[in-house]
Amino acid sequence: MLRAGTLALLAMVALPLARSMAAAPKGSFLQQQLQESSLRMDTALEHVEASAAGAEAWLAHTAGAQARRRGEFVTTLAAMVPLLIFIGASTWVYLKHKEMTNAGIKVKVGLKSAGCCCLFCIGFGSPLSLCFPIDEDVKDEVA
């Protein structure tokens, strides 16, 4: 970057000087050297402008790629949250059912089991509660 800036500064200073000295007698050695220098400076300035344009295009492309990667990460994270909730809810339902049956409590499909299954539709439950109910069967205790 320093080289490009130096060349641009040199071109801005040397070009007017070279063009003003071009008024030297035609065909003189000094005039030919000045014209060649002027052409080299013009070429160098064009290269500097082209590299600056290329750098800007590369930076814009890089920034766009980073934004896409951030968007993909957020999308992946948003897709993983309901899956993790489903796994957690299914594990809790299974362990609760197993705990109740091991304690000798009769279980049935009731309000808790149906609610857990219905919450699955919005991403917060598990349909496993229909296979492993988590409600106590109170009819047997009353009788």
What confidence score (pLDDT) does residue 11 get? 64
What confidence score (pLDDT) does residue 24 get? 56
Q: Which residues of the chain carry a pLDDT beneath 50?
A: 1-2, 142-143
How far are the Cα atoms of 27, 41, 94, 95, 142 from residue 124, in angstroms, in the given order?
A: 89, 69, 15, 17, 33
- Determine what percent of the chain is predicted with pLDDT higher than 70: 77
Residues 105 and 117: their CA atoms lie apart, in Å, by 21
Give the three-state DSSP class for 109: coil
Determine contact, residues 135/109, Cβ cutoff 8 Å.
Answer: yes
What confidence score (pLDDT) does residue 90 get? 93
What confidence score (pLDDT) does residue 22 get? 56
Q: Which residue has the tokens 């091991």?
A: 102
